[in-house]
Amino acid sequence: MYKFRSIAITTFSFICMVSYAQDTWTLNNCVTYALDHNLKLHDLKLNTASSKEGYQQSYRELFPSISAGSNYDISYGRSVDPNNNQIVSSNFYSNNYSINANIDIFRGFQKLNTIASTKFLYKATQEESLQEKYLLAFRVMTAFYDVKFYQGQLQITSEQLEISSTNVNLVKRQIELGLKAGADLYEAESVESGDKLAVIQSKNNLKAAKLKLLQEMNLNEQNDIEITTLDESIALDTSYEKHISTDSIYTNALTFMPTIRSQEFRVNAAKREMAIARGSLYPSLSFSAGYGTGYFETNVDALGKVIPFRTQISDNASQFIGLSLRIPISQGWSKRSEVKQQKIALLRAENNLSLQKQELNKIIQELIQNYQSTLAEHEQTEQSVTMHALAFKISQKKYDRGMISLLELNQSKNLYAKAQNDNLQVTLKLKVQKKTVDFYKGLPVFNIN
């Protein structure tokens, strides 16, 4: 019986642990879910699939163009006999069959350049899809740490409310003993009421932050979410972090940032598009071949009988092969204009690439500057929390002994709460900035393929 009870307790504990793990979201869980359920990413996925199909079709354009046809005609009254081109006045029908093939031998390398262009455009759409994944991951991360901030803020305000409530009870006892006046109780209850309002505001802010996270994740099945309380500690080598090389991070980011790679692919595609436009200025050569036959009701033998269908199909068969050379001379200068337009498109693509690089450099410079500033703020807020915690502890003891007024105690309590809040805000801000710096360094911050 005891053994069975132990097994049952162990099983129940395991089920509770699994249930808790399923109901608690880590940052990676939130990002993964958001990536799987984001509608914009789904649209970009379809766009990428369309670009891939265009790329594959550019290869198929190298194959011969083959077509087959058939027609069945009935002629009434005066008409031309297709068998001998004579004018007849009788009703008859005819049946024709044909198959034709055509292949380009030379078109100024337009088809090869089209393959290269569509390939670059396909890769560009892949990078743009990856860029949107990173942007979504950062939005989810920001919303995730906003939830953490308001959770911490709620904890701070709850602790302040607990202290205020304790002081109210203390004042009541002191009034009963004749050590305090009734006015002190009003002041203590006023402070408690203010702390209750702060708790309510913190809860409302937490609900709004959770709603924002749910919206970024597109998690419509839930109206609440619990995120993990376990988090990585900030273990920073400040002597190293304060001397980060912006240039080295920028140089490294150029090699993998989707915005840069996408624009580079579009520059290469623009070069191929210009080559395609130039190809239209060259002569083109194509090869064609065909087979045709037909059945005519007017085709009769010496006895006046219509020759059988199978015999006519065999006897009327004809084949042809041919080469076609086309030399462009003048089309209102339209082809030259297309070349000029493609040159302009190439210059614009190259300029956009320079703009993307410039913007990336600005972002990294501002990020490193803000990160180093936040490091200094983090050190200061850590010291501030320690000092104000000690000051409040001393003030609480002085108040218990009647050495200071409730007003002075509340001032010390408020300063301690402000120091905690500032430290919490700077700490979470530092975590976001640290992950962002690691991202631009090329480190695997998110589980994104």
Dist CA 56 CA 53 (whole Å): 5
Which tens digits make up the pLDDT trace of 182-200?
777 888 888 899 999 999 9
Q: What is the pLDDT of residue 6?
A: 44
8 Å CB contact between 31 and 446: yes
* Domains in the chain: ranges and CATH: 28-63+107-282+328-441 (1.20.1600.10), 72-106+290-327 (no CATH)
Q: What is the pLDDT of residue 363?
A: 96
Q: What is the pLDDT of residue 59?
A: 94
Task: Please report which helix (H) or strand (E) contains residue 427, including its range.
Answer: helix 406-441
Would you mind telling me the total number of residues written for the chain in this entry?
449
Q: pTM to 2 decimals?
A: 0.82
Ranked by mean pLDDT, the top range of 158-167, 233-242, 263-272 is 263-272
**Tokens linked to 153:** 């803020």
**pLDDT value at 368 more than 90:** yes
Model confidence at 21, pLDDT cuts 50, 70, 90, reads very low
DSSP state of 233: -
Which tens digits make up the pLDDT trace of 63-95?
999 999 999 888 776 777 666 677 776 777 788
- What is the rounded average pLDDT of the residues 135-152? 95
Q: What is the pLDDT of residue 142?
A: 95
Dist CA 163 CA 169 (whole Å): 10
Dist CA 278 CA 269 (whole Å): 14
Average pLDDT, the chain: 87
> What are the residue ranges of helices labelled H in 246-333?
246-253, 258-279, 309-315
